Chain A
Amino acid sequence: EVQLVESGGGLVQPGRSLKLSCAASGFTFSNYGMAWVCQAPTKGLEWVASISTGGGNTYYRDSVKGRFTISRDNAKNTLYLQMDSLRSEDTATYYCARNWFDYWGQGVMVTVSS
């Protein structure tokens, strides 16, 4: 059974950093591109970032480019999202998903507030 389990969310002050993790199991992690998708409170879904199977290619939405870094450790079957210079508008639930959005994690809440 495919499972994606996010962790690392929480309350953080504007300008600070947070690192999300997503532990994958039930499939060959290194064979799949992966992505992060966010959902602001009571809002719809927005793609945030994607990473290729080997990690050599990364892609970001404009609003997070230069602030967020997606990475992966295929030996640990884990996806990461390093979030720096956080802003109040980054407040959302962040989901880890396989690249074609066929499987999603349960999500982790990130709240950016002073």
Chain B
Amino acid sequence: DVVMTQTPVSLSLAIGQPASISCKSSQSLLGTSGKTFLNWILQRPGQSPKRLIYQVSKLYSEVPDRFSGSGSETEFTLKISRVEAEDLGVYYCWQGTHFPNTFGAGTKLELK
């Protein structure tokens, strides 16, 4: 299975600060279709996961543009330009290029 490694494990930031989360995969996530199925989801406290970003950098329609995703092959990054209170929770990267789908262990964003 493809191993997804996220760093840091946790992040403590004040409102308005930028955030950056790294996700590395044990194999290239570039698929035979030419697409890279690296995605991000957010699980707020006590809630089910919610979609954020798909195929590395494409934001779902309801996601604020302070979020951005980048990367290629095996190294990916989620950035928040200015953290807001509603952004706290656990961020997971996950890959859909190789069977089975696998998730990173998560990065917990806490407010300072």
Contacts and interface: CB of A to CB of B under 8 A. Distances in A.
> Which among A45, A47, A102 has the greatest number of chain B C-beta atoms within 10 A?
A45
Contact of B100 (A59, A103, A105): A59
A46 interface: yes
A45 B92 contact: yes
A61 interface: yes
A26 interface: no
Given A44-B104, A100-B54, A95 B48 contact: yes
Interface residues of B, number: 20
A46 B94 CA distance: 10
B97 interface: no
Contact of B105 (A44, A61, A95): A44
Given A44-B92, A45-B92, A45-B94, A104 B50 contact: yes
Instruction: Report the interface size class on chain A.
Output: 10 to 19
Contacts of A95: 48-49
A20 to B, nearest CB: 14
Which of A101, A105, A106 has the largest number of chain B CB atoms within 10 A?
A101
Contacts of B50: 104
Interface in B24-43: 39, 41, 43
Contact of B54 (A46, A47, A97, A102): A102
Nearest to B104: A44
A44 B48 contact: no
Interface of A: 35, 44-47, 50, 59, 61, 95, 97, 100-107
